[in-house]
Structure 1
């Protein structure tokens, strides 16, 4: 009897791409025919050409998606990037709740091949990677990541090991993003649509290590950790893991990404305290819990005085630094999102304002905040952001309609306060508007309210110093600004604080000291036009005309419409002492060659 040979199974090593439409059931429920027609158009105009161009083949359609094979992982990723970009362009004008976006997963596997289908573990993994991708996103396996390194010009974010449904072993996954703005493409590193994904601004402060070799110092080190945990919780929108959970890791060797998974946080702050003689050294680092990469690190050296006072000072330093660092980190994450929500846009807007008070940066910031308000008209962050932009443009003399801008800033700040009475930044902007509109006493009261809500708000102290200049009490300004620097010596807004000190010095007739402060301001941030003009005026008053003109020219490059008439047309105060000082500034500007009209 002749034994029949078994049918030979054809196998191939392929790059497998699985894709589906995010929220397809919801879209079909809303409008079946329109959704079907739009999906067909996108497949024909964007997906099919990109796959064919990169040597791929659609194996089968799956109703709301498709399965494709490629002979190369590099071409699979390039094809996915191409059609995701094109889909994004074609749907840019669509309403948010009707926009079609694909999720993509790519894996390499040795699979069983049939004419109209492919089978195997490699296919299943591609499908599961697709399920954890964001709308408009691409998620790849470690095998794909290894193949595309150095060959495809993309950035990837390590999502670490993922436990995928019906896959027996964890799979190392990566999110892919193009280098560019959020509007061009395509993925986000976090899996935000899952209820278990870490919240924005979520952080755990791990117990700081005591490196002093003295167990009696543990109480102080633990106190820094506990107080910092409390103070960070005051950041609006922050999710801070409670002290008891954080201290469960004390004294243990830990893996940051594991901590992130166990506590469901995006960021981990760890640090150490070392006492040597009469000095304390504090080392801190902020780590992305999903990738294990460092976001920020800093070292503080402080003389030891009263330990409780120094503990409060260290906490203030860290809280102020972390506030801006977390917002900038979230802004970088938001840039990778194809369809940012209101909070994503707010983070990006504030990151723009940090760069400096120029028309360019303020215009960029306004765009983000306006888009956020279209999505959520009651977004407190966006309202405060809009107020901040208008306040900055009015206060820095970047526009001719200063009164209108400051009025708009006040209206948005008041609305934000009505929605969130305990939000310090809303009160801070409101106070800022008041001191620039001849209501300095009321402004100081707002700053006092800010400090009741957030004792670490260094800006409230600095703005109080500016209010004292407007009240004709410039000698009192320095103490307030010095307190701001004590709380946050490396603050991103420090260039404004040295500007305030320079302004106070001019009003006191201390021109040499004013020049010193104003140069420090420009060293910290050259994108603040008022400092250029104030320094030019001071140099002009001292007779250093050539340098004064050069500085004035630099200021006009940042703010070409600035004139002395525009500067004088709006007075922050009617105090006689202040007005006399302002006239000296105007005279100095004339000597520096600043245009009169």
Structure 2
């Protein structure tokens, strides 16, 4: 446990997770630093992260600067020693660094299994599917690979900006979890916006998508890595793939793809924190009999403007 830093190379798209147990992490070109970054715009001691009691700080000592987003979403250069509200994303040279700090494992350890441990959280699950990927792969596997790569280049900064806790690829998309339902919704809306923007600006094949959000219990297993399971994870996947025939009443309007859908459970949690974002209109589609799920699930189509 300690500092958890995910470095994202904004030029190549590479991601490098790093973990540091000490209270101080020095970043720069100096080989004695905990985190060594080699780049002409990185100073020997570029940035120092520190934990002092229950507070976290970043101190920039570089020539070219370390940058943090302000309340308006604009990048601002750090000046001296600055208190941090974690998780936070910083920018330095060609990297963005998503920074968290884990004081202790807060999973419920009431269930232990050999070669790993089963643990539980209540979280929001986001499932993303890249539509028509099989057709694209059959017609042009290079194009299919390009679209998957471009999708992750768009999605990964969004997921980290809004505080995702866990993510993994699913072949034709990805699964992510968020501690905050409101941030999960904000991430999904921003992802839709960026995909629509990309599709409108390119002559290449559009990225067609289905996104689903659900709130519930998530069981994780750690055994040489981490994965998540559970009925609520299954519900999120079933919502993502739902088509008109699973609903108990006939539908007059139902998009097959390019849609963002959620469960009533997710919507209730978001509304506890306040009204929906102005750009989101929640349209109830109705109860759905999802495969493998015992009770019908109320599903909403979240139309964005």
TM-score by length of 2: 0.53
SS at match of 1:159: strand
Match status 1:105 vs 2:212: yes
- Secondary structure of the 1:168 match is coil
Note the C-alpha offset of 1:161.
Answer: 0.2
Q: Which residue of 2 aligns with 1:269?
A: none
Displacement of 1:93: 4.3
1:27 aligns with 2:136: yes
**CA offset digits 1:143-191 (Å, max 9, x no partner):** 111122314331110011011122121100000012x3xxxxxxxxxxx
Q: Residues 186-207 of structure 1: CA distance to partner in whole angstroms, max 9, x if unpaired?
A: xxxxxxxxxxxxxxxxxxxxxx
Structure having greater relative contact order (Cα 8 Å, sep ≥ 6): 2
Q: Across the two proteins, how many residue pairs are aligned to each other?
A: 173
8 Å Cα contact 1:59-1:118 kept in structure 2:
no
> For structure 1, which runs of at least 5 residues remain unmatched after alignment?
181-597
Separation in 1 of the partners of 2:112 and 2:186?
39
Distance (whole Å) between structure 1 residues aligned to residue 292 and residue 203 of structure 2: 35
C-alpha distance in 2 between matches for 1:106 and 1:156: 13
Q: Does the aligned pair in 1 maintain the 2:122–2:218 contact within 8 Å?
A: yes
CA distance in 2, matches of 1:58, 1:177: 26
Divergent runs of 4+, >3 A: 5-8, 93-96
Deviation at 1:89, TM superposition (A): 0.9
Q: Which residue number in structure 2 is paired with residue 120 of structure 1?
A: 230
User: Which residue in the other structure is 1:50 paired with?
Assistant: 158
* Equivalences for residues 452-531 of structure 1 within 5 A: none
Rg larger in structure: 1
Residue aligning to 1:156: 282
Q: C-alpha separation between the residues in 2 aligned to 1:29 and 1:20?
A: 17
1:489-520, Cα deviation, whole Å (9 max, x unpaired): xxxxxxxxxxxxxxxxxxxxxxxxxxxxxxxx
Question: What secondary structure sits across from 1:152 in the alignment?
Answer: coil
Question: After the TM superposition, which residues 134-153 of structure 1 pair with which residues of structure 2 at under 5 Å, given as runs?
Answer: 134-149=256-271, 150-153=275-278
More helix by share: 1
Q: Deviations over 1:440-471 (max 9, x none)?
A: xxxxxxxxxxxxxxxxxxxxxxxxxxxxxxxx
Counterparts in 2 of 1:165-314, with a 5 A limit? Answer: 165-178=291-304, 180=305
8 A Cα contact 1:155 1:176, kept in partner: yes
1:539-554, aligned counterparts within 5 Å?
A: none
Which whole-Å CA distance do the structure 1 matches of 2:141 and 2:118 have between them?
40
Give 1:62's aligned residue: 170
Q: 1:94 to 1:10 in 2, by over 3 A?
A: same
Unaligned runs of 5+ in 2: 1-110, 243-254
Give the alignment of 1:537-576 within 5 angstroms. Answer: none
| Counterpart secondary structure, 1:9 | strand
Q: Which residue of 2 aligns with 1:534?
A: none
Change (3 A) 1:144 1:31: same
Provide the secondary structure at the position in 1 that maps to 2:200: coil
Report if aligned partners of 1:58, 1:66 keep a CA contact under 8 Å in 2: no
Check whether the contact 1:138–1:175 (CA below 8 A) recurs between aligned residues: yes
Q: Deviations over 1:105-137 (max 9, x none)?
A: 111111211342110000000001111274221
Question: More strand per residue: 1 or 2?
Answer: 2
Task: Give the superposition deviation at 1:21.
Answer: 0.7
CA contact (8 A) 1:19 1:130 kept: yes
Aligned to 2:36: none
